[in-house]
Structure 1
């Protein structure tokens, strides 16, 4: 990997970080203990981010009763985090490149702790929603840093494959762990602890990050493409908000269409500005790499399938099968183990097996597992109904996620590490937000139609969830087909793309 890709389009930030040595593990002379601490810090940071996407879901009924949320406002406990997180991810990825990994990670962790404390002590709905928005901002800063730090700390080869695999295992299993943790904390300590739990996590992570992660050595003042940052953030925010707001305003309503049209106009303006800017926040030439483009589309599709899948599965367990929050959380343990197993397998195979085959195989498993969930009904048991699809889908997600993440970042120059990881995270998050809104609409409309035809309440709910599960299976199947068609054999990794 060299610096040729996009160096002319990037600001002269004085980066003196040497390129990693090929196949030699960590950079020459780096102590193994420090690189282990680096990996620990980025994995813990990623765990904090992904936990907070799902940890509050099972606590929502208790939050509503305690703080007096109206039904229409309760969803914004989740949406406030998602909106800010998704809207600011691209900016967060670029901040790490410009201002230094160590200081940006420390700032993100501290902000996460403060916002979590404020949320845990919230006395009104507005206070909690504001705190969740603060967590979303911190998450947008933290999420891209993990891959960025891995790319500049570990050289191309087995060491980086192992590091990316470990990071991806945390990302793949974190949402399921969030559901489990949310059920445990809500049942045993109360809903406020789904927010307070971040404080001890930050207290452990921050000293490790400060001791191991290094800033860039820059003798010049960093420059940021401010117009590009504003346009990109506004476009992402408008898109995510427009989709999320379909809970209150239908897709064909003037309000929704206006917001989505605004998002499209801002997106066009962003692309035009970036194509002409000398130091863009997103160098559009990076998408000239087929592997980068395909990996981001895959992240979008799989993000839509997995985020929606967790949501639907949690609802089915509680609303149809009558599980308590604690029981529903425990039911996701096999998913966690399966995702870890798939990630470990991907980590070990990624350097010896064609990555195209690994991604396609993992996505086909994920598709089969997601579609299998559609067979759940009110008479399903855990072992006879939920366990099988959980294991199949989770192994496939873990396997494909590791390999897709590696493919989407390994062909990128070190100076654009934050950009590449920010794009992948933004694609995954936007996919999750859009998928959740669209598939929730499908589930609700299908349930309503079933009830109108005389189907019982539980059967109607199960039918609605089942139709949405079939769509999640279709999304992961589409990602598998895209990879098969667009990525040639033995070319899963491309060289950096020059301007």
Structure 2
């Protein structure tokens, strides 16, 4: 049966026309560069604007937290919940909303979630109590959990597998990583020049523009045969991810021995184990184990998780270093990450060319090696401003280039060789890896710093703690290189018929 008969998407090409690309570029006519039509440019622009905004939201409030605490009367110990409530809902509900998009249509979910994001951002900016703000953050997280996999699914089903999709995923990855970095800069600028409320308000016009334009340029995409919702699987994986993320955030805040952290992590592990048992028995599982068992899906997502754990947590470590050791203001520290943002954009534009000329595996391994080398270079950061910046700026630039090669390689690997009806699941898994990685990285590195400094907050103690954590960070990147070389050496499977 042809793909056109099994999929309701109106994308421009059959994804079976190229190989998965893991072992090398596709050959034959399907590998020739294809033109990016005017409609596809509009589709790409709408999806990229939305994904950039979603990435910004992960970091835009970090610098603004103290100002929010002063403005709304948040106790200092409770400020973490502003970030935690967003992370819990964003990471915990990704798989569930990815499948709901398959059921009712990814376009509907994408537009509806962007509308929710705009409304919740408006509510957050107008909040007058801590409770109102936290409710708005939960709603923002739910909107992100729905919009991210839906947007990625629309992107992968709108662009045929091969050079066009690789290019689209490269630009998407660059803007998402740059958005995370830009959020830190934008949050500092808006808070210093206007008010922390503008860190919320800035989403409103962007979300409104996407909601107004998207219906006219994006075509609906969903499987022709509507799968049933695996409710037991959905509940266990959602509760498991919520528990796991909660445990990790508590561990980062209070240490791995904290009772809440231990309970959250154990409950998460038990629930996720139950989820896999359920998936083996139900007729239409939320995550078919045959899909998760594909080498490119399983190991691609493992590499993506490590990529987001390392680079986003490095931003946290360098923020500590710049503010606590070198004495930078939050705004100056945020602006310093602009070089990293430029590096990620360059890497995102470079990655499709590397993949086209060599292979996805080459992009993963080469990018990981570059990121490892320049992350390790940060071990030589000192306590003098001039010499430190002379090392930090080029190291973060080239490290960002390497990290983006890995991220684009992960996105291509984890979504290739699959029929369109599995793209919702594949992009849901990729989105979950991304969001859990962003959430998981900071608690891990925070715990390393806390254990190394033994509670001391002096400039030299913070410098030592950050240095040890950077070594751990570089080791995790190198682990990703080893995993890619060991488990993705064989050709990735051809797309399903």
Structure-1 residue corresponding to 2:488 = 487
Say whether the 8 Å CA contact 1:187–1:325 is kept in structure 2.
no
Partner of 1:350, secondary structure, is helix
Moved more, 81-90 or 283-292: 283-292
* Aligned partner of 1:393 among 386, 393, 399: 399
Partner of 2:186, secondary structure, is helix
Q: Does 1:142 align with 2:135?
A: no
1:84-104: CA deviation from partner (whole Å, max 9, x where unpaired) = 111011112212222112211
* Partner Cα separation in structure 1 for residue 260 and residue 80 of structure 2: 19
Cα deviation for residue 184 of structure 1 reads: 1.3
Partner of 1:69, secondary structure, is coil
Structure-2 residue corresponding to 1:310 = 315
Moved more, 423-432 or 110-119: 423-432
Q: Does 1:62 align with 2:67?
A: yes
Number of residue pairs the alignment of both structures matches: 482
Instruction: Quote the RMSD (CA, aligned, Å).
Output: 2.6
1:146-185: CA deviation from partner (whole Å, max 9, x where unpaired) = 2211221111222112111111111221111111111111
Say whether the 8 Å CA contact 2:256–2:447 is kept in structure 1.
no
* Partner Cα separation in structure 2 for residue 246 and residue 227 of structure 1: 28
* Partner Cα separation in structure 2 for residue 16 and residue 362 of structure 1: 33
Cα deviation for residue 325 of structure 1 reads: 2.6
Structure-1 residue corresponding to 2:458 = 457
Unaligned stretches of 5+ in structure 1? none
* Partner Cα separation in structure 1 for residue 273 and residue 346 of structure 2: 41
* Partner Cα separation in structure 2 for residue 361 and residue 115 of structure 1: 41
* Partner Cα separation in structure 1 for residue 160 and residue 232 of structure 2: 34
Structure-2 residue corresponding to 1:264 = 269
Say whether the 8 Å CA contact 1:350–1:358 is kept in structure 2.
yes
The 1:297–1:219 alpha-carbon spacing in structure 2 relative to 1, beyond 3 Å, is closer
Structure-2 residue corresponding to 1:351 = 356
Cα deviation for residue 431 of structure 1 reads: 2.4
* Partner Cα separation in structure 1 for residue 59 and residue 83 of structure 2: 8
Cα deviation for residue 426 of structure 1 reads: 0.9
Say whether the 8 Å CA contact 1:343–1:398 is kept in structure 2.
yes
Structure-2 residue corresponding to 1:189 = 194
Say whether the 8 Å CA contact 2:317–2:445 is kept in structure 1.
no
Structure-1 residue corresponding to 2:53 = 48
TM-score of the pair, normalised by structure 1:
0.90
Cα deviation for residue 432 of structure 1 reads: 2.7
Structure-2 residue corresponding to 1:472 = 473
Partner of 2:168, secondary structure, is helix
1:109-157: CA deviation from partner (whole Å, max 9, x where unpaired) = 0110111011111112222111111100000001112221122111122
Cα deviation for residue 274 of structure 1 reads: 1.2
Say whether the 8 Å CA contact 1:2–1:19 is kept in structure 2.
no
* Partner Cα separation in structure 2 for residue 3 and residue 468 of structure 1: 48
Say whether the 8 Å CA contact 1:17–1:217 is kept in structure 2.
no
* Aligned partner of 1:20 among 13, 19, 35: 13
Moved more, 322-331 or 102-111: 322-331
Cα deviation for residue 336 of structure 1 reads: 1.2
Matches within 5 A, 1:268-283: 268-283=273-288
Say whether the 8 Å CA contact 2:92–2:238 is kept in structure 1.
yes
Cα deviation for residue 56 of structure 1 reads: 0.7
Matches within 5 A, 1:125-164: 125-164=130-169
TM-score of the pair, normalised by structure 2:
0.91
* Partner Cα separation in structure 1 for residue 222 and residue 247 of structure 2: 41
Cα deviation for residue 392 of structure 1 reads: 1.8
Matches within 5 A, 1:2-17: 15=8, 17=10
Say whether the 8 Å CA contact 1:172–1:397 is kept in structure 2.
no
* Partner Cα separation in structure 2 for residue 187 and residue 145 of structure 1: 34
* Partner Cα separation in structure 1 for residue 223 and residue 359 of structure 2: 38
Structure-1 residue corresponding to 2:21 = none
Structure-1 residue corresponding to 2:23 = none
* Partner Cα separation in structure 2 for residue 323 and residue 178 of structure 1: 18
Cα deviation for residue 221 of structure 1 reads: 6.6
Q: Does 1:84 align with 2:89?
A: yes
Cα deviation for residue 267 of structure 1 reads: 1.0
Say whether the 8 Å CA contact 2:117–2:140 is kept in structure 1.
yes
Cα deviation for residue 305 of structure 1 reads: 0.8
* Aligned partner of 1:323 among 303, 328, 331: 328
Q: Does 1:412 align with 2:405?
A: no
* Aligned partner of 1:376 among 375, 381, 402: 381
The 1:277–1:303 alpha-carbon spacing in structure 2 relative to 1, beyond 3 Å, is same
Moved more, 72-81 or 93-102: 93-102
Cα deviation for residue 257 of structure 1 reads: 2.5
The 1:401–1:251 alpha-carbon spacing in structure 2 relative to 1, beyond 3 Å, is same
Partner of 2:356, secondary structure, is coil
* Partner Cα separation in structure 1 for residue 478 and residue 443 of structure 2: 20
Partner of 2:384, secondary structure, is coil
* Partner Cα separation in structure 2 for residue 98 and residue 30 of structure 1: 31
* Partner Cα separation in structure 1 for residue 172 and residue 416 of structure 2: 14
* Partner Cα separation in structure 2 for residue 272 and residue 447 of structure 1: 41
* Partner Cα separation in structure 1 for residue 125 and residue 333 of structure 2: 23
Cα deviation for residue 19 of structure 1 reads: 8.3
